[in-house]
Structure formats: structure tokens, C-alpha cells
Structure 1
Amino acid sequence: MISLTSPVRTRAHGWPAGAKLLALCLATLVLFLIENPVLHLAVLALVLLAYRLPGPVFFRAGMSRLWILWPFVVVVLIWHMLTDEPVTGMVIVLRMVSVVGLANLVTMTTRLTEMTDLIHRLLAPLRRLGLRTDALELAMALVIRATPALLDKGHNLRDAWRARTHRRPSWRIVLPFTLLAIDDAEHLAEALRARGAITNERE
């Protein structure tokens, strides 16, 4: 799942989070059973239509999130071209884009509170066994919330690079992005510790 926010409200915002997540799991299972590239193209067309129905603003926001998949698409296609399996490579790429696109639709149309409540209910069996799930629930919520924020910072870093040079961003952007991620993690840990969400084991 790439994004958590949507710039506009859609009908899907009112659907139960559990139903959307179940539908995502079933759709993912079906997509992994399909090997026909034509069927995968049809599924991808339906996914794109789902992005387009709420309007151009929602469509642009969704496509901007999915754009980060292009390096993986290029690597997979090149590898399968070199191994003389272009059809297999196309199926993998179409499946990947469709699955991530569907997952992104779920998170774009589901509030963080609904997602955390759903995670809490799903982990209920573990609590009945006497296991504490607080840390796991917090970790999942942080991953869901922090991912789009990190993506935005990555985009800003890329734009800053392009503003200073005509060359395309290269591997040199990895180090400042990593430092940004570490800095955010440290600030988040300090904020959680100050609010009592995490404690120092030595205390």
C-alpha cells in the first residue's frame, strides 16, 4: 500500500474497511492465478477506470503514487527480455501494477482510524492467547501513515535535484533520502516516548 490520503471524498470512503481489505485479498489471489496477459490488461484497465471515476483530481493523485513503480517495471521487463521470457515479464508487471493499484485504492479511501480499528479486531485471537499486540498495532499504523509522508519527501528531494541540475536524479540521491528517513524516525521516536507510547527498557 502506497498512499493513505485522497484529495477528494469518494463513495468508497463509506464502505467498511474490512470489506475492502477482504476484496483486496480475494482480487490479489485471483490475479496470481491468472497467466493470460490479455486478461491482465483487462484487469489493469478496470483498475485505471476505478481511479478515473471519482474525477481527474483523484486520478492524478493515484497515478502520481503508482509512478514510483516504474523502476521495478523496467528491471522486470529487461530481465525477462534477456531470458527470452517477455510474456512472463509482461504478466508479472501487469499483475504487480494492478495489485499495488488496488491496494492503493483501499488506503486512499480508508481513514487511518478505520484501518487501525480493523487491525485491532484482526489481532483479537492473539490477545486471547495472552499476547500483547499494542506494539504490533502501533507499528502497522506507523507504516501506513509514514509511507506517504516519506514518498512526499522523496518527491521533494527529486524536485530539489532537478532544480539544481539538468541531469536526472541518480544513486547519489539515496544517501540524503536515507538521512531524511532516519531523522524522521528519530523525531517520531522522541514524540512517542514523550507521550508514553514507548518506554526505555532500562527505566
Structure 2
Amino acid sequence: MSVLGLYVPGDTVVYRLPAGAKLLVLLAAVTGLLLVADPWVAVGATAAVAVLYPVCGLGVRRLWETLRPLLPFLVLIAAVQTLTEGWEVAARVCGQLGAAVLLAGLVTATTRVTAMLALFERLARPLRVFGVRPDRVALVLAMTIRCVPMVARAWQTARESYVARGLRRRPHRMVVPVVVNLLRSAEALGEAMSARGLD
């Protein structure tokens, strides 16, 4: 299951690790980076995680796709931090952010969505004493994940229609078609859930 297109099929050691173990490593690594607060450790951690991408079979392309959206923010943060706090703070902050994002991307790319949802359902089981239903928690997470590409697709469809009509200067007019499309999709999803006995 790769609803968002984030999971990349593979068969290395990282793929075979349980989702819970990966999340624990992610939590420990990011917490450790924040506690150490050393610029060289942060930059070194970013480089180490970047090397893990090809080692895990994801390749340099996947590494670039994960890092590319972050680059403008890193440049801006580095510039501001260098001017206000100095280059060491800039290197530390950018290194911590880069390592955290790359490590989270590695976990996401090597873990199936179904495995992650099953983990969250198990984690929610102790909340039964408070009336929380773990299966509903997993359902909400699954629906949230499913809605992300649905919103993106609705926006892309509205934009293509907008451009096809020769309209270019008023992008705010795309908002209403997108909202209407999403409401129709939500209504259809609600009807499908009701038909299956989910209230």
C-alpha cells in the first residue's frame, strides 16, 4: 500500500525492521541530535543519513527528491542564523533539520502504510479504558493519509481547468471548485462508509 507514493519497494535490512523499531530509532536519533547540540555532529549525521539512502537501495534520486523541497528553507535558515547567531549555530540548526528530515524520509520510504497503521492501532489499545477504539484511530489515520493526495489531485484538476479557460491572473477563483470537489468526495466517502456499517 503506497497511497502517497512514498513507499519504495525493496528488500534490504532496513525494510525488514519492524515499524516500531524504526520509529524508536528515529525518535532516539533526533532527540540525541538536539541534546548534543554540536554543529559538527549535526552535519556529520546529515551526511551519514544521506549515505544510508543508496546503502538501503533507495538511490541518489530518492535522496534528492527528499532533500530538494527542504533546500530553500535551509538556505534561508542558514542566512538568518549566520547573521544573527553565527555560522556554528547555522550549521547546527541546518544539520539537525536536514538529518531529521532525511531520516524521517528513510523511515517513510522503507515502511508500508499498512504496517504504520497497524503500529498506531496497537499503540492506541491502552486507550480503550477511556473509551477510545483503536480500530477507529487506525481508520482516521488511513482516511487522513488518503485525503492528502485527494486534495492535491483536486487542486491540480482545478488548476488545469483554470488554465484551459485562459484565466491566469486570478488564482483565488480555483478555491471554490476545489472545495466543491472535496465536499462531493467526502459525501461519497461517507455514503460508502455508511453502506459498510461504519458510523
Q: Give the structure-1-normalised TM-score.
A: 0.71
Identity of aligned residues (%): 31
What's the counterpart of residue 122 of structure 1? 123
Residue identity in the other structure for 1:24: L
Bigger mean CA deviation after superposition, 11-20 or 98-107: 11-20
- Report matched runs for 1:25-174 at 5 Å: 25-55=27-57, 58-133=59-134, 136-145=137-146, 147=148, 149=149
Describe the SS at the equivalent of 1:95. helix
2:16 maps to 1:19: no
1:187, distance to aligned residue in structure 2 (A): 5.5
Distance 2:183 2:53 in 1: 35
Q: Which has the higher contact order (CA 8 A, sep 6+)?
A: 1
Residue identity in the other structure for 2:141: M
On the 8 A contact 1:4/1:112 being kept in 2, the answer is: no
Gap regions ≥5 residues in structure 2:
161-168
Distance 2:152 2:12 in 1: 22
Report the count of equivalent residues. 181
What's the counterpart of residue 169 of structure 1? none
1:106, distance to aligned residue in structure 2 (A): 0.8
Deviations along 1:35-75, whole A, 9 cap, x unmatched?
221111221111011101134x6331232122111222122
Q: Give the structure-2-normalised TM-score.
A: 0.72
Q: Which has the larger radius of gyration?
A: 2
Distance 1:123 1:191 in 2: 28
Distance 1:138 1:75, change over 3 A: farther
Distance 2:118 2:101 in 1: 22
Distance 2:99 2:82 in 1: 21
Distance 1:151 1:92 in 2: 32
Distance 1:183 1:31 in 2: 44
Gap regions ≥5 residues in structure 1:
161-171
Distance 1:116 1:142, change over 3 A: same
On the 8 A contact 1:24/1:102 being kept in 2, the answer is: yes
Residue identity in the other structure for 1:39: V
On the 8 A contact 1:5/1:109 being kept in 2, the answer is: yes
1:9, distance to aligned residue in structure 2 (A): 4.4
What's the counterpart of residue 196 of structure 1? 193
On the 8 A contact 1:76/1:89 being kept in 2, the answer is: yes
Q: RMSD of the alignment, in Å? A: 3.6
1:11, distance to aligned residue in structure 2 (A): 3.1
On the 8 A contact 1:36/1:91 being kept in 2, the answer is: yes
Bigger mean CA deviation after superposition, 118-127 or 57-66: 57-66
1:189, distance to aligned residue in structure 2 (A): 1.9
Deviations along 1:83-103, whole A, 9 cap, x unmatched?
143221221111011011111
Describe the SS at the equivalent of 1:23. helix
Distance 1:96 1:72 in 2: 10
